[in-house]
Chains A and B, each alone.
Chain A
């Protein structure tokens, strides 16, 4: 039978419930990778390249081997027979230059922090003692760090033998850009510089690999967002059948995109466990994490926008340089980020022509990759800076300029000249809610009053469109093995409780709670009777994990489908026992009821009958109390979401410090499965965006290429007192192509916050005739803009 798709009235979906795991985690009972110990385990430490680019020769391992407690000192050659090398390839990026990579560097290191030697010992401390005894002759090579300089013909190569550091380039677009700029009444342009930053999850990457030589099987505990993806890659790289690789991501202390890649050190640990036949544990230090986790968002964007006499956007013309790092990150590629940047430019607006030129530069820096709201914050900041410049040039209210240019609902679905498909975006409704929430007339009066007191304050706006919940074509067309589908298995237990096994991944964002609410409604049972397991490839069938804000939109659909299948089985069995018909029965709060609402049979009784007293069942009745649903979305490669943000900041023009005073977000992420979780995802994302705008930077010495921000005293994260009050509002336009109608929510805050803050700072500085075009907006950036400090050399 086809499942009933109507959501119950007053159900669990839509309730702002705290997640069930909160208490356990708050009480310190979380079990992260490092909390698990394996019998006989060895502890690993890596000798990482201290240089951004160097040739090396390992001349002495004996001294380290002689140290008591050292069990192995491994170099690339030791692992070569156990583990294949890999190379980032994507049909989406033909001609992408990314050299072959292995678990340990061989002969040459191409970024600082690249793993070179792996020491196994009885403790981490002894392993680190061992590192100091390894003799290596290093020959430093010229380091390529600045992305723009890397592309100049005079630049040394990031990898020896490369003719150029151009990793990939493309030009694309649609419409007559030249003509649009020729007829434009107004052309605004900017060059924006974005400095690398990274995700900094509370729990650093960690791996505990246990290879069992007798079973020829590998079990890996891994702090990762996508355990099933890692099962695929570890099986492939180590030459094992997939079924003999089990990846378990237990409690995961945050990911933000940092933990969705294949890292050489993690592969090395798995290979080493196989080599020595013992479990091997490795936990990334914060200093290792800062230098060797993927970085993100190193771009120099030159952008211009053409506007007609009526203030309508005609065209965008973009020239973006992306700092790729030493490799394109495996398997998804670093280039994906740049394409996300470019596709996000102009996304909220209607325009006729678009042209983008992209050059990705190979550098002697750690690879860049996908970080929360991949690329979008840069595309959004670029667009919204241009929009702000245009409104200012026209002497117009920036909100009115935006209102005029938003994609009208009448023309959607619409594919814009950048190739972005805009469908069922609720710009008008979001704008109305935004204006209600922000109360602009009152706010502008407050700002005027503050300015009258001599305070340098500014208001910045940002219209936001985000591509979320990637469908199968996103990576499928590129032939990159990434699952954009999910599997959910729902089992009725003999007690009438439900157990859910799902391929979505819980990384602290609360998706388990969301899935539980969906299953509870789909079946007709209280959430307290539903238990969910995620993160273990031995427990849940294949699926996508946590990325692209996909859990509710994709995993949620699978959960609904599995729950509905199980419900149908339950009602069919109940009908047989009650001598009724399934369509005359219903299931509510764990009770089978009839059309009048009269309880007829408790689910627990039914389950006990089926599992323990099957002889009482009518002949031929074989209830299937485990239901599985695999779901992929067939339409819409992405689910576009939309919204607005505003930031109010104060600039101390003497010190250059910027304080975020308030922040507002209105978003439409479709159906809200759990508004509490969505609100806090939005707030967390905004804070991360404020960090991006004002604080966070991975810096390298301009001369020798040394990494300068290896500790949290150097790499500044936003803290509680850097977070302003964040007011969150919603417009709920369910996605018409699915049952639940959920779209992506988890990255929306990060998408628009940097743009809003950038515009707010520039609004504050405008009366002083100054502006900034660089992130993070550090005190030095402000003081240089004001002419207090000389421009950087």
Chain B
């Protein structure tokens, strides 16, 4: 279980990294925390010609809250995001979700940007930033580009990121008055890949949900805003929203069938709406 041969570059500047990506982007894999990449290298499931280590580039891990926008650098470690008072204030969903992300040793290395760029369908962070209505800011030698989270994820390990692009940061609208955040998941053991996970933001007036933002992980191949479910929830309430989950295009597997995932999505939504 040793990786195939690869080149290695560790630029000190963003421009340096983008120049390398412009030249070798298709061949390159970006190394940030390495918590998914290293096992895939060792299993030879990933065989990049070049490992581009971005750990020396300054400024990629900043967390800031300004003008109602929470900005998290792509290389911010999960542990840093989890511990950040700014994140707790502006995006409590992330704090709830990160408690489910693996274990402390992995959270100490794993990064927000890495999780988003990898787009594992069972990962928590893509569902969160989708539900939060975040924007990814990505860069290449061609310039910067802003991508709405809800259009970013295309499928299993597939995103709209171009081979020469690097995720710089994520911009998340801070939670507004009247809104609440929730994240819930079902996993076989704490920290495992979710069999199903639910990220939701609700705007209530009294007990009535007047606006909702919902995304799942571990259910469909690509996380997405569940606009239809949200609309049903607002118009017809919780039970109707749970029924509407029948329309999910759930992944099938030997251990967890599609019907099983939809059932769990429904359990999560019903429980979350009961609690919230």
Contact between B192 and A716, CB atoms less than 8 A apart: yes
Task: Report if A695-B254 is in contact (Cβ < 8 Å); known contacts: A124-B2, A287-B1, A779-B195.
Answer: no
The reply to whether the CB of B62 lies closer than 8 angstroms to some CB of chain A is: no
Q: Chain B residues with Cβ under 8 A from A719's Cβ?
A: 189-190
Contact between A655 and B193, CB atoms less than 8 A apart: no
Q: Chain A residues with Cβ under 8 A from B188's Cβ?
A: 657, 695, 716, 778-779
Contact between B190 and A287, CB atoms less than 8 A apart: no
In Å, the complex CA distance between A324 and B120 comes to 37
The reply to whether the CB of B235 lies closer than 8 angstroms to some CB of chain A is: no
The reply to whether the CB of A77 lies closer than 8 angstroms to some CB of chain B is: no
In Å, the complex CA distance between A673 and B255 comes to 44
Show 26 residue pairs from A and B whose CB-CB distance is below 8 angstroms, ordered by the A residue: A125-B2, A125-B3, A125-B5, A128-B4, A128-B44, A129-B4, A654-B267, A655-B186, A695-B189, A699-B254, A708-B254, A713-B192, A713-B193, A716-B188, A716-B189, A718-B189, A719-B189, A719-B190, A778-B255, A779-B188, A779-B260, A780-B256, A780-B257, A788-B263, A789-B263, A790-B259
Interface centre among A132, A655, A788 (most CB of B within 10 A): A655
The reply to whether the CB of A286 lies closer than 8 angstroms to some CB of chain B is: yes
Contact with A along B160-197 (1 / 0, CB 8 A): 00000000000000000000000000101110110100
The reply to whether the CB of B88 lies closer than 8 angstroms to some CB of chain A is: no
The reply to whether the CB of B43 lies closer than 8 angstroms to some CB of chain A is: yes
Known: A285-B1, A716-B189. 15 other contacts (CB 8 A): A123-B2, A125-B2, A654-B271, A655-B186, A657-B186, A695-B189, A701-B254, A702-B254, A716-B192, A719-B190, A722-B189, A779-B186, A779-B195, A779-B260, A788-B263
Task: Report if A655-B254 is in contact (Cβ < 8 Å); known contacts: A124-B2, A695-B188.
Answer: no
Contact with B along A124-145 (1 / 0, CB 8 A): 1100110010000000000000
Number of B residues with CB within 8 Å of any CB on chain A:
25
Interface centre among A129, A287, A654, A778 (most CB of B within 10 A): A654
Task: Report the 6 A-B pairs with minimum CB-CB distance, sorted nearest first.
Answer: A125-B2, A285-B1, A654-B267, A655-B186, A128-B2, A124-B2
* Distance from A287 Cβ to chain B, minimum over Cβ atoms (Å): 6
In Å, the complex CA distance between A518 and B189 comes to 41
Q: Chain B residues with Cβ under 8 A from A315's Cβ?
A: none
Interface centre among B1, B5, B190 (most CB of A within 10 A): B1
Contact with A along B1-18 (1 / 0, CB 8 A): 111110000000000000
Q: Chain A residues with Cβ under 8 A from B260's Cβ?
A: 779-780, 783, 789
* Distance from B107 Cβ to chain A, minimum over Cβ atoms (Å): 16
Contact between B263 and A783, CB atoms less than 8 A apart: yes
Count A-B contacts at CB 8 Å.
62
* Distance from B259 Cβ to chain A, minimum over Cβ atoms (Å): 6
In Å, the complex CA distance between A287 and B260 comes to 28
Contact between A655 and B259, CB atoms less than 8 A apart: no
- B188's closest neighbor in chain A, by CB? A716
The reply to whether the CB of A400 lies closer than 8 angstroms to some CB of chain B is: no
In Å, the complex CA distance between A129 and B44 comes to 10
- A131's closest neighbor in chain B, by CB? B44
Contact with A along B199-242 (1 / 0, CB 8 A): 00000000000000000000000000000000000000000000
Q: Chain A residues with Cβ under 8 A from B1's Cβ?
A: 128, 285-287
* Distance from A686 Cβ to chain B, minimum over Cβ atoms (Å): 17
Q: Chain A residues with Cβ under 8 A from B267's Cβ?
A: 654-655
In Å, the complex CA distance between A132 and B3 comes to 12
Within 8 A of B (CB), among A682-704: 695, 699, 701-702
* Distance from A224 Cβ to chain B, minimum over Cβ atoms (Å): 21
The reply to whether the CB of A634 lies closer than 8 angstroms to some CB of chain B is: no
The reply to whether the CB of A721 lies closer than 8 angstroms to some CB of chain B is: yes
Contact with A along B33-61 (1 / 0, CB 8 A): 00000010001100000000000000000
Contact between A655 and B190, CB atoms less than 8 A apart: no
Contact with B along A769-793 (1 / 0, CB 8 A): 0000000001110010000111000
Q: Chain B residues with Cβ under 8 A from A695's Cβ?
A: 188-189
Contact with A along B241-276 (1 / 0, CB 8 A): 000000000000011110110011001000100000
Contact between B2 and A655, CB atoms less than 8 A apart: no
* Distance from A305 Cβ to chain B, minimum over Cβ atoms (Å): 33
* Distance from A698 Cβ to chain B, minimum over Cβ atoms (Å): 13
Q: Chain B residues with Cβ under 8 A from A716's Cβ?
A: 188-189, 192
Q: Chain B residues with Cβ under 8 A from A779's Cβ?
A: 186, 188, 195, 260
* Distance from A434 Cβ to chain B, minimum over Cβ atoms (Å): 30
Interface residue from B4, B43, B264 paired with A655 (Cβ < 8 Å): B264
Q: Chain B residues with Cβ under 8 A from A713's Cβ?
A: 192-193
Contact with B along A164-185 (1 / 0, CB 8 A): 0000000000000000000000
Within 8 A of B (CB), among A508-525: none
* Distance from A197 Cβ to chain B, minimum over Cβ atoms (Å): 14
In Å, the complex CA distance between A369 and B39 comes to 29
* Distance from B103 Cβ to chain A, minimum over Cβ atoms (Å): 9
Interface centre among B190, B195, B255 (most CB of A within 10 A): B255
Contact with B along A702-734 (1 / 0, CB 8 A): 100000100101001011011000000000000
Task: Report if A789-B257 is in contact (Cβ < 8 Å); known contacts: A125-B2, A287-B1, A779-B195.
Answer: yes
Q: Chain B residues with Cβ under 8 A from A778's Cβ?
A: 188, 255
Q: Chain B residues with Cβ under 8 A from A129's Cβ?
A: 4-5
